[in-house]
Amino acid sequence: MASLITLLTDFGTSDTFVGQMKGMIARIAPEAQVVDLSHEVPAQDIAAAAILLADAVDAFPDNTVHVAVVDPGVGTERAALAVDLGRFKFVGPDNGLITPLLDSGAVRYAAKLDPARLKPKRRSHTFHGRDVFAPAAAYLARGDRPTDLGEHVRTIVTLDLPQPDITDERVVAHVLLIDHFGNLITDLREDALLPWGEKDAPLQIDAAGTPIGGLRRTFADVAESEPVAYIGSSGRLEVAVRNGHAGRVLGLKRGDAIEIRRV
């Protein structure tokens, strides 16, 4: 049974790069289903890709192969990885993209991809998405295991991603991403906020000087154009402006702080 393959890249969709990856997958695993996560990761922004991927994996069936290619080091000595994380597999460059996934499951096997085992027709030095990662994902979707694709690696590169700063007095979260609607996604997960704030304990949330009020269930809990804080669909604290663009209205950008205190 061929499983599902997802693709996350910074390739954009104006060229045929993504299509060529899918062509290569179809040559090796014609039965595999391919789903695009996004191809509009800001160019070479590994941290953004890492968060987008980690927040999406829960929606997918078991045994999905997640391919992420944001790869400023293509052509250098950086390794290419295939990693078995139990419920799913990861394929991508060894540049930290996998970091937040490492919290979600134990690494069962991490292989450094060996091009000789991928038998591509040709291999460019600039497009490993097509020539290395797509074939590796296709072999995994067909049932091969990471052990079949390369030698074990003991150490995986990780990133220092923003972490909320939690003291007894207050929590400081940081804006990780701003989504298509202008909503601010933070590094503060529900399971870190709720024990601190106690369920239903009144909180006071401030975003760059704008008081947002307490924690709501959804943006529909405030009036039009009002700011609102809630736990978003990926389990993180988010700040939005109802039917508006919070990033612009509140003047916040990636990395900026959101402060939470008990009332």
Please report, as ranges, the residues that interact with a second copy according to CB under 8 A.
4, 6, 8, 11-24, 26-27, 30, 33, 35-40, 43-44, 52-53, 55-56, 58-61, 64, 72-76, 121, 124-127, 130-131, 179-181, 217-221, 230-233, 238, 243
Q: How far is the CB of 161 from a second copy (least distance, A)?
A: 17
Q: Taking each helix axis from N to C terminus, what angle separates 17-28 and 134-142, rounded to the nearest 10 degrees?
A: 30
Q: Which is nearer to a second copy, 43 or 147 (CB)?
A: 43
Q: State both tokens at 251.
A: 């003047």
- C-alpha distances in Å from residue 14, one per residue of 10, 133, 187: 11, 20, 31
Among candidates 163, 169, 195, which has minimal Cα distance to 262? 169
Q: How far is the CB of 122 from a second copy (least distance, A)?
A: 8
Q: Which is nearer to a second copy, 14 or 155 (CB)?
A: 14
Q: Which is nearer to a second copy, 43 or 201 (CB)?
A: 43
Q: Which is nearer to a second copy, 170 or 189 (CB)?
A: 189
Residue 250 CA, distance from chain mean position: 25
Q: How far is the CB of 105 from a second copy (least distance, A)?
A: 16
The pair phi, psi for residue 206, each rounded to 5°, is -125, 130
Q: How far is the CB of 170 from a second copy (least distance, A)?
A: 25
Q: Which is nearer to a second copy, 51 or 156 (CB)?
A: 51
Q: Which is nearer to a second copy, 109 or 187 (CB)?
A: 187
Q: How far apart are CA 195 and CA 60, in angstroms?
A: 28
Q: How far apart are CA 186 and CA 178, in angstroms?
A: 9
Q: How many Cα atoms are found within 13 Å in the side-chain-facing hemisphere of 203?
A: 26
The pair phi, psi for residue 72, each rounded to 5°, is -60, -20
The CA-CA-CA angle for residues 73, 79, 81, to 5°, reads 115
Q: How far is the CB of 244 from a second copy (least distance, A)?
A: 10
Q: Which is nearer to a second copy, 62 or 169 (CB)?
A: 62
Q: How far is the CB of 104 from a second copy (least distance, A)?
A: 14
Q: Are 244 and 250 spatial neighbours (Cβ–Cβ below 8 Å)? A: no
Q: How far is the CB of 261 from a second copy (least distance, A)?
A: 24
